[in-house]
Chain A
Amino acid sequence: MNQKPDKLIPALYGGVIMALISAIPFINFVNCICCAGVMLGGFFAVFFYKNNFTPDTPPYTSGECMGVGALAGVFGAIIGTMLSLVTLALFGNITGEYMIEMLRKFDIPQEAFDAMEESMAVGMSFISIMIQLLSSLVIDTLFGLLGGLIGYSVYKPKKSIISPPPMPQPPQV
């Protein structure tokens, strides 16, 4: 039997998907639905991982899929933090501004808006970048792991039916 395929490359692909969803303005709204974008990255990592399997390789396990999803989360957090810094430098916090504009339609006191604007003011200091990276590492790994488990539940390998060995024939007399 062949050896199992490498987990690193599928996890990297999943991480890139995760990072793109998390860093591109407006697309990152997807993550407001319980980190759906991050889970999607973990899911796709498992999808790419299972595509590398051939009939000769032993089937993938739930533990491996969980690992691939978590690894995708680690990649996603690192790449995503770098990408979001780039988008922040290029476009500013346009997602936050759009959300505040959207909320102005509702009857909300000005103080609440001021607090919201203050909380959405994204800093580029070293501490804020490190906090973002660390929180992303924890959250993306956790939700990537969950995405990996969802991926396994969808692409669960079917148990092959092993036919029992033929019964020995009684010696003919």
Chain B
Amino acid sequence: MSKVEHRAYILILGCVILWCVVLFVPPIIAYVEEPSQEISHFSYRCFSSICHQFEMRSLSIFGHKLAVCARCSGIYFGALLGVLLYPFVRFGKHWSLRTLWIIAILPMLTDVLLNAVGIHTSSIASRLATGAFFGIGCAGILLPIAIEAVTNLLSHLSNQQGAQYESET
């Protein structure tokens, strides 16, 4: 990794960590402002557009559900793990993108479909595990492209700053 790529990686890692931390904010607010739920109600609503937020399908902290369900939490924490592992492990380097997407989504899809058909009942653990697998896969597939994109952006910005400095001096 070049210096700019390393900077791009750190920036992306920071964003993913921030997103994962934000998921804990609504339950912490709910815990702090108990028994009133006015502020936490609004903070949960901020995430209602991206997840069903059913209590029985969510992980809890301090007796309050996280901002998103167990499967979504698995995806986001898996993505964080994938981003953390990226400098050490590269998944499926020689596989096509389509194969990688299929491998990443297959366990989660199987869990959902078998539950829908009634063959197997999804548990919090299975939702979390299959979601995390998908999250790690997503990070493995999208991170190189994201690093390339952010590197382009950072180089473009530094070029612009350089040109501005030259024109000023």
Contact = CB atoms under 8 A, between A and B. Distances in A.
Contact of B45 (A103, A131, A146): A131
A127 B41 CA distance: 13
Interface in A109-152: 112, 115-116, 118-119, 128, 131-132, 135-136, 139, 142-143, 146, 149-150, 152
A62 B145 contact: yes
A112 B44 CA distance: 15
B156 interface: yes
Interface stretch (B51-59, B119-127, B161-169): B51-59
Interface in A144-168: 146, 149-150, 152-154
Interface residues of A, number: 35
B152 A61 contact: yes
Given A62-B145, A99-B52, A34 B42 contact: no
B15 to A, nearest CB: 8
A61 B152 CA distance: 8
Contact of A139 (B49, B55, B145): B49
22 contacts: A32-B51, A32-B52, A34-B51, A35-B50, A61-B148, A61-B152, A62-B146, A63-B149, A63-B152, A99-B52, A118-B41, A119-B44, A119-B45, A128-B45, A135-B46, A135-B49, A136-B49, A139-B49, A146-B142, A149-B142, A149-B145, A153-B141
